[in-house]
Structure 1
Amino acid sequence: MLDLSNIPDLFASGRNIVFFLFALCAIGGAVYMISFTRVIHMVVALAFTFLSMAGFYVLLNAEFVAFVQILIYAGAISILMIFGIMMTKHRSEEEQEQRRPVHNVLLGIGVLALLGILFYAIQKSTFPDAQPFDGGQDNTLEIGNLLFNQYVIPFELMSVLLTVAFIGAIIVAKREED
């Protein structure tokens, strides 16, 4: 039998409520992303999911990672996908979307079943007591020190690799255009 007596204690903290809202937004954006048929709508749903993930990082006191999540994923990757959509050819007539009510009902049942299984597993699990985490005063400074002292060569190699990949993508796009 499920023990639902600890649910009011779970939502007594504002941090848990904000986590729950970010979780709903992330899951909702992901479900919408795979459910939409237009690519531009998929990109917007994906960006919404990325922003929700940045909220998780803020809750974990990883502000730098949250900023990078917004800047790189929600910003750059989404803009890159939109440019890719704009640069490709599309048919002028709109395809009629086939209605699949049975598919939507089965999808809803599957999502609710997964939610029930996860809820049951979390309720039955025993977690060790959390140790207090000391995130330090300035985690961005620590990341910068590690990045530019200990990991400077992998950082530079990654920038060269990304530049080569970008140039290769331009060459492939030019060949397809000709």
Structure 2
Amino acid sequence: MSGGILAFFLLSLIAIAGGVFMINLQKVVHVIVALAFTFISIGGLYVLLAAEFVAFVQILIYGGAISIMMLFAIMLTKHDDEEKGNRRRLHSWLVILGIFVFFVTMFRGINGLTLGEPGTGFEMENARQIGLAIYSHYVIPFEVVGVILLVALVGAVSLAKQDDKEVNHHE
């Protein structure tokens, strides 16, 4: 077994375990940590595919920024952590059944798959090619996405502060 195959199985196991933990954990902060592990392991899978730029963006944006933004959103809002006993048990069995059906479907789909000849030259300066494309042809959409994300974050903080004022006003 080569190192690449071992790394693939390890990163895949971490990604799948993170997804399963995300579905089954009780506390919202633990769910975000499981989500961050999933994001980072998917970034590692991109490295194995020789897509270093996409891996870097995956880890930086999703593993870091999105996870931190979710943690801030959770800290700034109110939520219930009450458990639902029987409903939780049914939910767990449905999750296990869904995972089993997913794996059987994926196994049947991948089992007879032929990928053809591998491409060559894709990994040559891919970060440079993507950077040139983004900052020459797609500058305006790139900046608009940044502004929209900033407005969404400011709006979320504003709504959370408004709820806080209403709670203090009613008490």
**TM-score scaled to structure 1, two decimals?**
0.77
- CA distance in 2 between counterparts of 1:102 and 1:165 reads 36
- CA distance in 1 between counterparts of 2:82 and 2:2 reads 48
Give runs of aligned pairs for residues 126-137 of structure 1, distance below 5 A: 126-137=113-124
What is residue 141 of structure 1 aligned with on the other side? 128
What is residue 120 of structure 1 aligned with on the other side? 108
What is residue 99 of structure 2 aligned with on the other side? 111
Per the alignment, in what secondary structure is the counterpart of residue 157 of structure 2? Answer: helix
Between 1:35-44 and 1:164-173, the stretch displaced more is 164-173
Query: Do residues 34 (structure 1) and 23 (structure 2) align?
Result: yes
Counting helix residues as a fraction of each chain, which structure ranks higher? 2
What is residue 169 of structure 2 aligned with on the other side? none
**RMSD value over aligned CA atoms?**
2.5
- CA distance in 2 between counterparts of 1:165 and 1:90 reads 20
What is residue 3 of structure 1 aligned with on the other side? none
CA 117–79 in structure 1, closer or farther in 2 if over 3 Å, else same: same
Letter in 1 for 2:41: S
- CA distance in 2 between counterparts of 1:81 and 1:117 reads 32
Per the alignment, in what secondary structure is the counterpart of residue 105 of structure 2? Answer: helix
Give runs of aligned pairs for residues 65-80 of structure 1, distance below 5 A: 65-80=54-69
- CA distance in 2 between counterparts of 1:25 and 1:103 reads 22
Q: CA deviation at 1:90?
A: 5.5
Structure number with greater CO (CA < 8 Å, separation at least 6) is 2
Any gaps of 5 or more consecutive residues in structure 1? Answer: 1-11
Between 1:27-36 and 1:105-114, the stretch displaced more is 105-114
Letter in 1 for 2:141: P
Between 1:125-134 and 1:63-72, the stretch displaced more is 125-134
Between 1:154-163 and 1:43-52, the stretch displaced more is 154-163
Pick one of 11, 36, 39 that aligns with 1:22: 11
Q: Is the 8 A contact 2:50 2:123 kept in 1?
A: no
Letter in 2 for 1:66: A
Between 1:100-109 and 1:23-32, the stretch displaced more is 100-109
Q: CA deviation at 1:119?
A: 1.9
Moved over 6 A (4+): none
Pick one of 135, 155, 158 that aligns with 1:168: 155
Equivalent residues, number: 164
Query: Do residues 153 (structure 1) and 140 (structure 2) align?
Result: yes
What is residue 46 of structure 1 aligned with on the other side? 35
CA 13–98 in structure 1, closer or farther in 2 if over 3 Å, else same: same
Higher-Rg member (1/2): 1
CA 145–84 in structure 1, closer or farther in 2 if over 3 Å, else same: same
Superposed CA deviations along residues 44-94 of structure 1, whole A, max 9, x for unmatched, are 110110011101110111112211211111111111222222223467xx7
Q: Is the 8 A contact 2:11 2:42 kept in 1?
A: yes
**TM-score scaled to structure 2, two decimals?**
0.80
